[in-house]
Amino acid sequence: MDKLLSGLKVAMDDGHGGVDPGAVDPIQPAQNDHIYTEEKDINTQLAQIMTSKLVANGAEVLDVRPGDATVSLDERVNRANSWGADLFFSWHSNSATNVSAGGAEAHVFSKTSKAYGLAQKVQERFLANGIKWRSIWVSNFKVLRETRAPAILMESGFITNPAEELLLNDCEYLEKLANAGFEAVCLWYAGKLPETKADSLVEAITVIKESGVQLDENCWAKAARPGGTVDGGYANVLLHRIANILRKEG
């Protein structure tokens, strides 16, 4: 059976690299910032995490900047175009002179492009995953303008913001960022999220129901997934039903 992203060819670009570290955040003790961060390292981790998720769900992925190579923007575009990519996805991390600037953002070449639709999905999934969001920007970047496939450039956050820099050096937070990007691609390409974690949820619902607890299976199978919203009143009733079953068994 075909996987969710079968047939999709993604050119994955981790921005900067090699002799170009990208944005560099100096140690700033005055802002309680004691971490030295180079943007290229964050970009590579995000690209690698997202690539593994894409491949696991059937997509083909081309690493346009393998290892820590120095690759020009022209070469990145040429590699994606020559390979026949269906999507160009570029990870970056932001910086600003204002240390309070923070949040993720997406850049595309045109509001009328297919990439803009993906950017909207990215915004949706970032917010659903509790990630601070700034905006979608229309930008005349070379990789967006000259890549034949829909192209998006992501800014994962600001390494010059001490609190956000801590997050961008946290493996769990990078997983959350990459997963939100992956989910956006799934919605954009296949119109739905992968069902990989739904099976365990359905199994859990089945176990609860078989224990004698009355619940709406369809409601919980949808509402309890990442990004779903559970009605507080219904959750209250369900928890009391579970408690009553446990009291009887005790």
* Model pLDDT for residues 32-85, shown as the tens digit of each residue: 777 889 999 999 999 999 999 999 999 999 999 999 999 999 999 999 999 999
pLDDT of residue 1: 53
Q: What are the sequence ranges of the domains in the chain?
A: 9-190, 198-249
pLDDT of residue 228: 62
Residue 12: count other Cβ atoms within 10 Å of its Cβ: 23
Whether residue 174 contacts residue 91, with contact meaning beta carbons closer than 8 Å, is answered with: no
DSSP 29: G
The string of pLDDT tens digits covering residues 184-227 is: 999 999 999 987 554 566 777 777 877 888 777 767 766 776 55
Across 123-145, average pLDDT: 97
pLDDT of residue 41: 95
The chain-wide mean pLDDT, for the chain, equals: 89
> Residue 139 corresponds to which amino acid?
S
Better-scored residue on pLDDT, 246 or 126: 126
The model's pTM: 0.78
| pLDDT at residue 14 is higher than 90 | yes
Identify which of 194, 139, 217, 153 has the alpha carbon closest to the alpha carbon of residue 11: 153
Across 140-161, average pLDDT: 97
Q: Where are the extended beta strands (E) located within 72-210?
A: 87-94, 104-108, 133-138, 151-158
Comparing 12-16, 92-96, 244-248, the range with the smallest average pLDDT is 244-248
Beta-sheet pairing, 104-108 with 151-158: antiparallel
- Please list, in sequence order, all residues whose beta carbon lies within 8 angstroms of the beta carbon of residue 73, skipping any fewer than 6 positions away: 142, 143
Superfamily per CATH, domain 9-190: Zn-dependent exopeptidases (3.40.630.40)
